[in-house]
């Protein structure tokens, strides 16, 4: 086995017992006898699983502090807490802080080994899932022939050869990270790191730590996103969620091209291309006092705007075909047969955008229906709460028949126009109308034609 277990206990007999037990089970081990040794081992290289005694030489909650330190670096690493001074409060506290299991001394050896085995399985499963998601996502292409997607592809080609900062706007799930990855992949920095810092997922007290890193009392260094992305690209996702005081520090880095780590005294100079993304309108956030206008102008050298999926319906059949092939390959199953013109799919609101569509197709792949009817049933069941028919019924039952008919025609024709990228001839042919009749109908209903 290649998994490595870190064992931290100040009692030499217990430390030796656990170490021999884990080695006999076929795992690699590292050991630490006190808090500082443990901190050094963690910062040197993260283990796959950690076994931590609660009380070491520094204080009564050393193990809990080390648990929090490990989780700040990688929340997926399972940590087993052991204690000879156990009580319910301590057990609850450790589990609340993310412990995988809690065990009292003296412990049953088989029980501890069972915990370790399950912890390793848990870690490997999460690791496989991350690798699978990374492989799946990083291999995705920007799919679509709508005017919006075609423009974005042209923009990527133009700005990838520059070093300009980029701001990507778009609703959640629309593909902002994918666009950022494509810019990086096509740039001169493609062989260097692509690092993501998600402003919406960070603990409010850890923004500086995650961005700038930290210099520890024992001399070890925890590197932040800026240094991890050196020579490469840093994507700050959901930058609107970054607090104002941290925004000012990001602005200072952009101006000075340097920063200091937390508790550090020396300047750190890095070469990073910055890309930012947001699901919120940053101009409105400036008006609300939530975002710095000077930072906005610094990051918005080049702007890319991604439309919601329900505004580029013509891309949906292409996305269905693409994801069906891609996901089938990754699951090693026969390619999914999904009707690309399914009315439930085309008329759905897609509040979750491309991510929601991808998740739907992945759900179908997992369930592996063996008939088209079963595929259709999964689609209807998945989308029934927000589909077009329900939405239409809700808005139509409380109005006279003539008005309901006009509402239906307007929504129906608007969707069909979007589906065919505003092509009147194709739309007329699909809905069964003469081209001239469709022009008149659009004019009567107040539907603006577009190219």
Most confident of 137-146, 218-227, 232-241, 402-411: 232-241
CA dihedral 251, 256, 258, 264 (to 10 degrees): -80
User: CA nearest 34: which of 7, 68, 72, 13?
Assistant: 7
Unique residue bearing structure tokens 């799946």: 136
Query: Residue 399: its pLDDT value, please?
Result: 52
pLDDT digits (tens, 9 = 90+) for 89-122: 777 878 888 899 989 888 899 999 999 999 998 8
**How much is the average pLDDT of 28-55?**
92
User: CA nearest 32: which of 54, 3, 52, 2?
Assistant: 52
User: CA nearest 423: which of 345, 314, 343, 308?
Assistant: 314
**pLDDT for 364 beyond 70:** yes
pLDDT band at 1 (very low <50, low <70, confident <90, very high): low
84 token code pair? 């000879």
C-alpha span between 359 and 323 (Å, rounded): 10
Percent of the chain with pLDDT over 70: 91
DSSP code per residue over 69-81: HHHHH-TTS-EEE
34 and 81 in contact (C-beta within 8 Å)?
no
**pLDDT for 427 beyond 90:** no
pLDDT digits (tens, 9 = 90+) for 371-380: 888 888 888 8
C-alpha span between 347 and 406 (Å, rounded): 17
**How much is the average pLDDT of 313-323?**
92
pLDDT band at 334 (very low <50, low <70, confident <90, very high): confident
**pLDDT for 133 beyond 90:** no
Measure CA 59 to chain center.
37
The helix-helix angle for 401-419 and 388-396 (nearest 10°) equals: 150
By mean pLDDT, which of 26-30, 243-247, 388-392 is the weakest? 388-392
pLDDT digits (tens, 9 = 90+) for 173-229: 999 999 999 999 999 998 888 999 998 877 777 889 999 999 887 777 888 999 989
Most confident of 294-308, 331-345, 381-395: 294-308
C-alpha span between 387 and 343 (Å, rounded): 9
50: alpha, beta or left? (left if phi > 0; alpha if psi -120 to 50)? beta
Unique residue bearing structure tokens 């069909």: 416
pLDDT band at 48 (very low <50, low <70, confident <90, very high): very high
pLDDT band at 401 (very low <50, low <70, confident <90, very high): low
**How much is the average pLDDT of 295-303?**
96
Query: Residue 341: its pLDDT value, please?
Result: 80
Query: Residue 391: its pLDDT value, please?
Result: 45
34 and 23 in contact (C-beta within 8 Å)?
no
Query: Residue 211: its pLDDT value, please?
Result: 93
Q: Where in the chain is the domain with CATH 3.40.50.2300?
A: 4-127
Query: Residue 14: its pLDDT value, please?
Result: 93
pLDDT digits (tens, 9 = 90+) for 259-296: 999 998 889 998 999 999 999 999 999 999 999 999 99
**How much is the average pLDDT of 418-441?**
83
Q: Where in the chain is the domain with CATH 1.10.8.60?
A: 310-389
Q: Where in the chain is the domain with CATH 1.10.10.60?
A: 399-445
Residue 143 has φ and ψ, to the nearest 5°, of: -100, 135
* Helix (H/G/I), strand (E/B), else coil: 278: strand
**pLDDT for 393 beyond 60:** no
Beta-carbon contacts of residue 100 (< 8 Å; ≥ 6 apart): 49, 78, 79, 80, 115, 118, 119, 122
250 token code pair? 């990001």
Query: Residue 332: its pLDDT value, please?
Result: 83
**pLDDT for 137 beyond 70:** no
Name the CATH code of domain 310-389 (choices 1.10.4160.10, 1.10.220.10, 2.40.50.140, 1.10.8.60). Answer: 1.10.8.60
Q: Strand 268-269 to strand 258-259: parallel, antiparallel, or no bridges (unpaired)?
A: antiparallel
Query: Residue 400: how many CB atoms within 10 A of its CB?
Result: 9
232 and 274 in contact (C-beta within 8 Å)?
no
Strands (DSSP E) found in 113-169: 166-169
Q: Strand 258-259 to strand 214-215: parallel, antiparallel, or no bridges (unpaired)?
A: unpaired
Mean pLDDT of the residues in the chain: 86
9 and 107 in contact (C-beta within 8 Å)?
no
By mean pLDDT, which of 43-52, 78-87, 259-268 is the weakest? 78-87
Query: Residue 162: its pLDDT value, please?
Result: 94
Q: Which CATH superfamily is domain 4-127 in?
A: Response regulator (3.40.50.2300)
Query: Residue 425: its pLDDT value, please?
Result: 87
Name the CATH code of domain 139-307 (choices 3.30.470.20, 3.90.1150.30, 3.40.50.300, 3.90.280.10). Answer: 3.40.50.300
C-alpha span between 320 and 368 (Å, rounded): 16
Query: Residue 369: its pLDDT value, please?
Result: 85
Q: Considering the domain 399-445 in this protein, what is its CATH number?
A: 1.10.10.60
Query: Residue 92: its pLDDT value, please?
Result: 80
Q: Where in the chain is the domain with CATH 3.40.50.300?
A: 139-307
C-alpha span between 60 and 37 (Å, rounded): 17
- Burial (Cβ within 10 Å: 0-12, 13-18, ≥19) of residue 273: buried
Query: Residue 329: its pLDDT value, please?
Result: 84
**pLDDT for 437 beyond 90:** no
Rg (CA), the chain: 27
């Amino acid at each position: 086995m290649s998994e490595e277990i870190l064992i931290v206990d100040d009692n030499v007999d217990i430390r030796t017992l656990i170490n021999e037990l884990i080695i006999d089970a076929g795992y690699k081990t590292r050991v630490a006898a006190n808090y500082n040794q443990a901190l050094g081992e963690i910062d040197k290289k993260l283990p796959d699983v950690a076994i931590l005694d609660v009380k070491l030489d520094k204080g009564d909650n050393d193990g809990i502090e080390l648990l929090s330190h490990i989780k700040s670096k990688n929340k997926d690493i399972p940590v087993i807490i052991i204690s000879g001074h156990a009580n319910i409060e301590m057990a609850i506290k450790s589990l609340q802080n993310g412990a995988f299991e809690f065990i009292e001394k003296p412990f049953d050896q088989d029980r501890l080994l069972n915990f370790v085995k399950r912890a390793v399985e848990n870690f490997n499963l999460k690791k496989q899932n991350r690798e699978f998601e990374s492989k799946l996502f990083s291999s995705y292409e920007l799919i679509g022939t709508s005017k919006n997607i075609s423009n974005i592809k042209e923009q990527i080609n133009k700005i990838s050869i520059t070093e300009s900062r980029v701001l990507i706007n778009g609703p959640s799930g629309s593909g902002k990270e994918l666009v950022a990855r494509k810019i990086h992949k096509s740039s001169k920095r493609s062989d260097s790191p692509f690092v993501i810092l998600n402003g919406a997922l960070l603990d409010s007290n850890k923004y500086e730590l995650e961005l700038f890193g930290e210099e520890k009392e024992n001399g070890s260094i925890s590197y932040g996103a800026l240094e991890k992305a050196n020579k490469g690209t840093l994507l700050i996702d959901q930058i609107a969620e970054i607090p104002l005081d941290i925004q000012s520090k990001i602005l200072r880095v952009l101006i000075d091209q340097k920063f200091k780590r937390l508790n550090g005294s020396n300047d750190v100079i890095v070469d990073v291309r910055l890309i930012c993304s947001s699901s919120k309108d940053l101009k409105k956030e400036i008006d609300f006092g939530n975002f710095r206008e000077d930072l906005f102008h610094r990051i918005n050298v080049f702007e890319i705007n991604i439309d919601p999926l329900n505004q580029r319906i013509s891309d949906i059949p292409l996305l269905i075909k693409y994801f069906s092939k891609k996901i089938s390959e990754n699951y090693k199953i026969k390619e999914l047969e999904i009707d690309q013109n399914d009315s439930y799919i085309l008329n759905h609101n897609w509040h979750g955008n491309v991510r929601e569509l991808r998740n739907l197709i992945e759900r179908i792949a997992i369930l592996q229906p063996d008939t088209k009817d079963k595929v259709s049933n999964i689609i209807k069941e998945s989308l029934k709460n927000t589909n077009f028919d329900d939405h239409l019924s809700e808005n139509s039952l409380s109005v006279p028949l003539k008005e309901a008919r006009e509402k239906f025609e307007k929504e129906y024709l608007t969707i069909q126009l979007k589906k065919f990228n505003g092509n009147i001839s194709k739309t007329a042919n699909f809905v069964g109308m003469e081209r001239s009749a469709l022009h008149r109908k659009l004019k009567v209903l107040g539907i603006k034609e577009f190219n």
